[in-house]
Amino acid sequence: MTDRRLITALDLPTTNDAEALVETLGEACAHYKIGLQLLPIGGMDLARSLKARGHDVFLDFKLHDSPATVEKATRSITQAGADLLTVHAEPPVMRAAVEGREGSDLRILGVTVLTAYDDPMLTQMGYAYGARDLVMRRVDQALDCGLDGVVASPQEAEAIRARVPDDFLIVTPGVRPAGAALGDQVRVATPEAALKAGASHLVIGRPISQADDPFAAAQAIADEMAKA
């Protein structure tokens, strides 16, 4: 059985490239993330097509707009039948997304603090909290707003898991098998460490898509996850 806790990020230039990777991965992966790179060039059709073939689909669109717009956008997005959607973890935005998904199986994840931001950047932007405190505050707000989970760094997963119910999703990018190139990821953990810290799903992009043998790379990660 394919481990659907492994989400491969389709951060690729075209939907043809994405389809080719899905084909190559075969049974090694059944859960795919489509983000803003593919959204304007066929990403929604790709989502429908992946769903029609039995895959799970995570739409990482990070919605952030006025509540009425987020609600209507979320309602439109439910038509693709995807499983997960991200919105920024601000209470009015989160509540609007929860309204918009009503009647569908779409689960809403809050993006707490982008991993690209550090404490000095948050201060400069006018926030009164450092990254870790802001993440925890937003986790509590996500729970209050009825979200299904959050996206967070694996290094925050343990502290988040301690304050949320077992079925609350913690989806972590920044996962690197031992020895893999970090790329621009800074706060990383291995697949085993991320799961042990309480992550429910791992989002992995380049260690799979840029591997010489993507199938073998995904299979090795799935094997490590099975042991965690």
Binding site for ligand C5P (CB under 6 A): 9, 11, 35, 60, 115-116, 173-174, 183-185, 203-207
In angstroms, the CA 50 to CA 62 distance is: 20
**Residue of 33, 51, 62, 196 with catalytic role:** 62
The smaller minimum CB distance to ligand C5P, of residues 174 and 198, is found at: 174
Taking the complex as a whole, how short is the minimal distance between the CB of residue 151 and ligand C5P, in angstroms? Answer: 8
In the complex, least distance from residue 1 CB atom to ligand C5P, rounded to whole angstroms: 23
The nearest distance, CB 152 to ligand C5P, in angstroms, is 10
Cβ closest to ligand C5P, residue 39 vs residue 104: 39
Q: Contact at 8 Å (CB) between 181 and 204?
A: no
Q: Which residue number places its CB atom closest to ligand C5P?
A: 205
117 CB-contact burial (10 Å; exposed 0-12 / middle 13-18 / buried 19+): middle
- Residue 128 CB, shortest distance to ligand C5P, in Å, is 23
Question: Based on CB atoms, which residue is closest to ligand C5P, 100 or 174?
Answer: 174
Q: Active site includes 33?
A: no
Catalytic residues: 62
